[in-house]
């Protein structure tokens, strides 16, 4: 395992749609998502609860579980190919070794009957790591960096650790196999502000030291503002805006991104200026099947927003899906929804 090994792979998510089977049939939680993770960068995905972020994260490892399934699209990772069509042993090896991940609620997924150290060794063995003492040393050092007593944590059982400690154990497990693509789903939600800042700094440091390609998923715009080079904003299963973080936050083009930003109380300035977005995000059964997914809550909606999808416009390094941006950029050619998998529609 070489820590100096710099081979940041690129990841291209293409026209990805993921559905869950419900009483009302299969409904999409992720719809027609195109997203590129540029090698060596941190991409942040932000959106309210239920917007499809965790489903997108699971798709990167082809780990969507029934009643969900990837309906169409591809996730192409350099050196691995399309993970959507990987299966069996290839897929198992990918998880952890090539794509390190902390899933949301990872802190509850530890085995209560084994110490963290024992679980670490299991992980190493299942990925054919030869140098197990080296793996333990690396784990200890990562935990120490995150402000924990690494040796003690490795000797502990899950119930002996606080939620915040378990979260850091999850991050350690995502990084310890030295994967070059790392997916962190809500990595700092159980942490207080100070610990959160420390953890974000360490994620950034490790990302740079190792030359990783990293995806950070969060409902907290503050987290992505802190850490992400590029930002993708998700709403009702759609990516509505993406681009360099500074540009997206500095000059948001989509009404939803503007709404998210306006809802953050500023430290300086008038706290009354923070305005929560009216209404609630849609659930699977209330996502409108036609028209702009955000229109129910959009202050500037027009007649044209009621039907058809808003155009997906490329404006320099940015992509915006909204009629208000029409004329500003070039419209992406409409892609037909790619090959459909397991066509047993409910
Ligand atoms: N196992 C499941 N069965 C049915 N619906 C699900 C399941 N998991 C997630 N969903 C639904 O899919 C949508 C997206 O969920 P999720 O990806 O967890 O969003 P986020 O991570 O942004 O909160 C939500 O409406 C959620 O209720
Ligand atoms: S497409 Fe229409 S409804 Fe949707 S965000 Fe833009 S203006 Fe609002
Ligand atoms: Mg989630």
Give the pocket of ligand 1 (CB within 6 Å).
Answer: 20, 22, 29, 47, 49-55, 67-68, 283-284
Going by alpha carbons, the residue nearest to atom 6 of ligand 2 is 322
The pLDDT assigned to 237 comes to: 97
Identify the bridge partners of residue 44 per DSSP, sorted by sequence position. Answer: 216, 231
C-alpha 322 – ligand 2 centre gap (Å): 5
| Residue range 59-74: mean pLDDT, rounded | 95
Query: Counting atoms of ligand 1 from 1, which one is nearest the CA of 283?
Result: 25
Spell out where the chain has E strands.
11-22, 25-37, 42-46, 68-77, 81-82, 99-102, 181-185, 213-218, 230-235, 238-244, 312-315, 318-321, 330-331
Probe ligand 2: pick from 47, 324, 327, 329, max atoms within 8 Å of CB? 324
Instruction: Please state the separation of Cα 19 from the chain's center in Å.
Output: 17
The pLDDT assigned to 111 comes to: 87
Burial of 69 (0-12, 13-18, 19+ CB in 10 A): middle
The tokens describing 307, both together, are: 């039907």
H runs (alpha helix) in 43-87: 53-59
H runs (alpha helix) in 60-179: 88-93, 116-126, 132-145, 150-154, 163-175
Q: Band the pLDDT of 338: cuts 50, 70, 90.
A: very low
φ/ψ bin of 9: left (φ > 0), alpha (ψ from -120 to 50), beta (otherwise): beta
Q: How many CA atoms lie within 13 A of 180 on its CB side?
A: 19
d(CA 138, CA 129): 13
Give the pocket of ligand 2 (CB within 6 Å).
Answer: 255, 292, 294-295, 298, 300-302, 305, 310, 322-324
**What crossing angle do the helices spanning 116-126 and 163-175 adopt, rounded to 10°?**
20
- Compute and round to an integer the Cα radius of gyration of the chain: 20
Probe ligand 1: pick from 50, 102, 105, 185, max atoms within 8 Å of CB? 50
Q: Pick one of 3.40.50.300, 3.40.50.1220, 3.40.50.2300, 3.40.50.150 as the CATH number of 11-331.
A: 3.40.50.300
- Greatest Cα-to-Cα distance within the chain, rounded to the nearest angstrom: 64
Question: Which residues touch 239 (CB under 8 Å, ≥6 apart)?
Answer: 33, 34, 35, 232, 233, 319, 321
* pLDDT higher than 60, residue 340: no
Query: Counting atoms of ligand 1 from 1, which one is nearest the CA of 47?
Result: 22
* pLDDT higher than 70, residue 4: no
Instruction: For residue 47, give the nearest of 56, 38, 58 by alpha carbon.
Output: 56
Separation of first and last alpha carbons in the chain: 46
Q: Name the percent of the chain in helix, strand, coil, to the closest 5.
A: 35, 25, 40
Q: Are 263 and 280 in contact (CB under 8 A)?
A: no
| Residue range 214-232: mean pLDDT, rounded | 94
Other Cβ atoms closer than 10 A to 227: 22
| Residue range 19-26: mean pLDDT, rounded | 95
Greatest mean pLDDT among 125-134, 188-197, 228-237, 259-268 = 228-237
Q: Could you tell me the residue ranges of all domains in the chain?
A: 11-331
Q: Are 153 and 120 in contact (CB under 8 A)?
A: no
For 291-315, the pLDDT digits (tens) are 999 999 999 999 999 998 999 999 9
d(CA 235, CA 300): 16
d(CA 49, CA 71): 22
For 171-210, the pLDDT digits (tens) are 999 999 999 999 999 988 878 888 899 889 999 999 999 9
C-alpha angle 3/5/6, rounded to 5°?
A: 120
- Phi, psi (5° rounding) for residue 241? -155, 140
For 278-289, the pLDDT digits (tens) are 889 999 999 988
Q: Band the pLDDT of 267: cuts 50, 70, 90.
A: low
Mean pLDDT of the chain: 89
**What crossing angle do the helices spanning 163-175 and 193-210 adopt, rounded to 10°?**
10
């Amino acid at each position: 395992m070489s820590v100096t090994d710099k081979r940041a792979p690129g990841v291209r998510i293409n026209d990805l749609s993921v559905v869950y089977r419900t009483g009302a049939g299969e409904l999409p939680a992720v719809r027609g998502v195109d997203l590129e993770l540029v090698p060596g960068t941190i991409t942040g995905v932000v959106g309210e609860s239920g917007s499809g972020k965790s489903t997108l994260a699971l798709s990167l490892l082809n780990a969507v579980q029934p009643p969900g399934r990837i309906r169409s699209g591809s996730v192409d990772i350099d050196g691995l190919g399309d993970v959507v069509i990987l299966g069996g042993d290839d897929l198992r090896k990918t998880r952890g070794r090539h794509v390190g991940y902390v899933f949301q609620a990872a802190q509850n997924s530890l085995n209560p009957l084994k110490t963290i150290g024992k679980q670490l060794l299991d992980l190493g063995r299942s990925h054919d790591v030869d140098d197990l003492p080296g793996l333990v040393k690396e784990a200890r050092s990562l935990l120490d960096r995150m402000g924990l007593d690494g040796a003690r944590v490795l000797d502990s059982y899950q119930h002996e650790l606080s939620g915040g400690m378990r979260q850091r154990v999850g991050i350690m497990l995502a990084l310890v196999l030295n994967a070059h693509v790392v997916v962190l789903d809500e990595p700092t939600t159980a942490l207080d502000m100070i610990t959160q800042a420390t953890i974000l700094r360490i994620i950034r440091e490790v990302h740079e030291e190792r030359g990783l390609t990293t995806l950070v998923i969060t409902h907290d715009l503050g987290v992505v503002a802190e850490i992400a080079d590029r930002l993708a904003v998700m709403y009702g299963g759609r990516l509505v805006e993406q681009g360099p973080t500074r540009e997206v936050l500095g000059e948001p083009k989509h009404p939803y991104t503007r709404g998210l930003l306006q809802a953050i109380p500023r430290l300086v300035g008038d706290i009354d200026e923070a305005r929560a977005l009216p209404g609630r995000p849609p659930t699977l059964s209330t996502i409108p099947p036609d028209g702009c997914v955000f229109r129910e809550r959009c202050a500037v909606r027009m007649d044209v927003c009621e039907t058809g999808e808003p155009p997906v416009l490329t404006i320099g390094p940015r992509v915006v899906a909204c009629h208000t941006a029409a004329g500003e950029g070039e419209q992406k050619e409409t892609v037909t929804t790619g090959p459909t998998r397991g066509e047993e529609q409910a």
